[in-house]
Homo-oligomer: A and B are copies of this chain.
Amino acid sequence: MSSRNASPERRPAARAEVEDAILRAAEAEFAEKGYDGATTAAIAARAGLPKANLHYYVATKEALYRRVIGGVLDAWLAEARSFDENGPAAEALTRYIEGKMDLARARPLGSRIFAREVMSGAPAVRDFLETTLAEWVKARGAVVEGWIASGQVRPLDPKVLFFTIWAVTQHYADFGAQIAALNGGAPLDDDAFAAAKRQVVETILRGIGPDRA
C-alpha cells in the first residue's frame, strides 16, 4: 500500500510523533490553565511548532480538547480493569486503590482535566458519566454487594465506597500543589508517597471491613 517510502519508518513516524507531541502539550496546558485559560499558541509553542501548523493537524481547539479528554477516559477505563481480576475483597480493593494512587502520581494531568471538566458541569463527558461509568458502577456495585453478602465487607452503599476511593486517590493528583506546600514546598518523594499509599489502603480496608467481635 504505502509505496512512497524507501525507509518505511521515517515519515509516518514523524507524523505520529508530531501528533503525540501536540496531545501531550495540550494535556499539560489544559490541566494547568483549563480549557479557556489554555491558548492554542501556548500549546503549539510547547509542542515545538508555530501556531498555524497546529491547525494543520487538528481542526479546532475544541476538537483537540475532546481528543485529550478521550485519552483520559480511555486511561481511566484501562486502569479500572484491575478491579475485575478475581480474588478476595481485600486483594481486589488493594489492587484497585494502589493502581489509582500510582496513576495519580504518574499521570496527574489527566485527573486534573477531568476534575475541571466535571466542575464545569461535565459538558464533554456527561455521556461517559451517564452510560459507560454508570454501567461500570452498577456492575462493580454488584460485586461489592457480593462481598457484603459473604461477610467480607460490612453493609454499606457501594457507590459511596467508590466515591471515597476516587476522592482520596484523585486528591493526590488534583491537589498536588497543596500537598507539596504542606510538605515543605516539594512533592512527596517516593518513600513518603508509598507510606501515604499504605495508609490510604489500610484506612479504607479497615473502614469497610466487617465488625470484629
Contact = CB atoms under 8 A, between A and B. Distances in A.
Nearest to A169: B167
Given A196-B157, A199-B156, A181 B212 contact: no
Residue of A134, A200, A205, A207 contacting most chain B CB atoms (<10 Å): A207
A180 to B, nearest CB: 9
A203 interface: yes
Given A119-B112, A121-B32, A203-B204, A196 B137 contact: no
Contact of A185 (B116, B130, B166, B181): B130
A178 B33 contact: no
A174 interface: yes
Interface residues of A, number: 56
Contact of A163 (B130, B181, B196, B205): B196
A34 interface: yes
Please give the count of copies of this chain that the complex contains.
2
A72 B178 CA distance: 15
Interface string A171-182: 110110111011
A41 interface: no
Nearest to A173: B119
A34 B120 contact: yes
Given A160-B200, A163-B171, A119 B209 contact: no
Interface string A107-137: 0000010011011111000100110011001
A212 B156 CA distance: 21
Interface string A57-97: 00000000000000000000000000000000000000000
13 contacts: A118-B178, A119-B174, A126-B177, A129-B178, A156-B199, A157-B195, A161-B199, A163-B175, A163-B179, A164-B168, A166-B175, A206-B207, A207-B207
